């Protein structure tokens, strides 16, 4: 499988079922919902697995830090909205998510995962892909990892802040540090 480069290009458009309204499950999510804000769009393989809930709950636990940076979060897998709801309603102590602060998208057609270049076709699941999309809808960051490796919330926040800093950020740059001169 070839992972396609999306950085610097318009984010592939999407519309899919979601848990945005957990009770009725009748509210879809679309890329256009996030226009004017930053978006962390992340893909994960499957509901009710082992690494995935650690990532989703870690992002949810730090949601306010993203919100303070005018950034929304959307998680996506190829599971159904019903599976997502059941997982959210399962307590964390039982390998569930419990209440989370952002919706999960249901890419049951696999179109969104395919468009973002993270779909494992023969398995019908997504790799761990994370994309930061700017307020104009341009992909500014993408990282795709093996199914067994969870992502770092600290690094995602650092990259978001670096992208928002508006300059050249050296390796290991942290907010408040000097930018490089061109």
Distance CA 160, CA 171 (A): 14
Q: Classify burial at 48, counting beta carbons within 10 Å of its beta carbon; exposed 0-12, middle 13-18, buried 19 or more.
A: middle
71 is catalytic: no
In the numeric block, the tokens 């802040």 are attached to 161
**Is the Cβ–Cβ distance between 104 and 96 less than 8 Å?**
no
Distance CA 34, CA 28 (A): 13
> 3-class SS at 78?
coil
Residue of 52, 104, 119, 127 marked catalytic: 52
CA 154 to chain centre: 14
Distance CA 81, CA 142 (A): 25
> 3-class SS at 170?
coil
Alpha-helical (H) ranges within 8-95 are 52-61, 63-67, 81-88
Q: Which residues belong to the active site?
A: 52
């Amino acid at each position: 499988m070839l992972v396609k480069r999306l950085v610097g290009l318009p984010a592939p458009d999407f519309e899919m079922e979601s848990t945005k309204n957990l009770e009725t499950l009748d509210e879809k999510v679309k890329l256009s919902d996030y226009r004017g804000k930053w978006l962390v769009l992340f893909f994960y393989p499957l509901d009710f697995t082992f690494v995935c809930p650690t990532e989703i709950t870690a992002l949810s636990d730090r949601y306010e830090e993203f919100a303070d940076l005018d950034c929304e979060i959307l998680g996506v897998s190829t599971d159904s909205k019903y599976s997502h709801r059941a997982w959210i309603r399962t307590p964390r102590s039982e390998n569930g998510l419990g209440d989370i602060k952002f919706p999960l998208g249901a890419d049951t057609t696999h179109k969104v995962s395919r468009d973002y270049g993270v779909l494992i076709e023969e398995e019908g699941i997504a790799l761990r892909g994370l994309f930061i999309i700017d307020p104009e809808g341009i992909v500014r960051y993408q990282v795709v990892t093996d199914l067994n490796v969870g992502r770092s919330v600290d690094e995602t926040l650092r990259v978001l802040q670096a992208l928002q800093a508006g300059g050249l950020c050296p390796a290991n740059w942290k907010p408040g540090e000097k930018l490089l001169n061109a």
